[in-house]
Amino acid sequence: NFVIIAVTMLGMGFPASIVFGKVIPGAAVAVMAGNLYYAYMAKRLAVKENRTDVTALSYGISTPVMFVFLFGVLAPANALTGDPELAWKIAVAAAFLSGLIEAVVSLSGNWVRDHLPRAAMLGALA
């Protein structure tokens, strides 16, 4: 996904200083922090349950979300402003708002799990 982000942004005309100086390092730090947190949570569960078979999921950039941000936020912002720096700032603000919305909506997770039939929740995976 890092390669797709870099190639797509460079193809859209974003300067290498933004792509390799801000976007890729920022994404790398986020992925590293996410993986470290997942590993910590797995270790905590292993100790709590006295198990040695606990593993952590891998953490990474969501491919569908990546394409939404590249072509639904970044490209239009760049086309409208003509300023790659401003377009990048708009995308960062959009990502922050997206994360804020996810955090707020996540508070309803237990209610959704308790009140929706299992088939309704698993239907999206079919």
Domain boundaries, the chain: 2-125
Share of the chain above pLDDT 70, in %: 100
* CA R_g for the chain: 18
Q: Which amino acid is at 65?
A: V
Q: What is the pLDDT of residue 96?
A: 96
Q: Collapse the DSSP code of 49 into the 3-class scheme (helix H, G, I; strand E, B; otherwise coil) and give the result.
A: coil
Please state the φ and ψ torsions of residue 51, each to the nearest 5 degrees. Answer: -120, 155
* pLDDT tens profile 71-124: 999 999 999 999 999 999 999 999 999 999 999 999 998 998 899 888 888 887
Supply 57's token pair: 């999921």
State the SS3 of the chain.
CHHHHHHHHHHCCCCHHHHHHHHHHHHHHHHHHHHHHHHHHHHHHHHHCCCCCCCCCCCCCCHHHHHHHHHHHHHHHHHHHCCHHHHHHHHHHHHHHHHHHHHHHHCCHHHHHHHCCHHHHHHHHC
For residue 81, give Cα distances in angstroms to 9, 84, 105: 15, 8, 31
Q: What is the pLDDT of residue 119?
A: 87
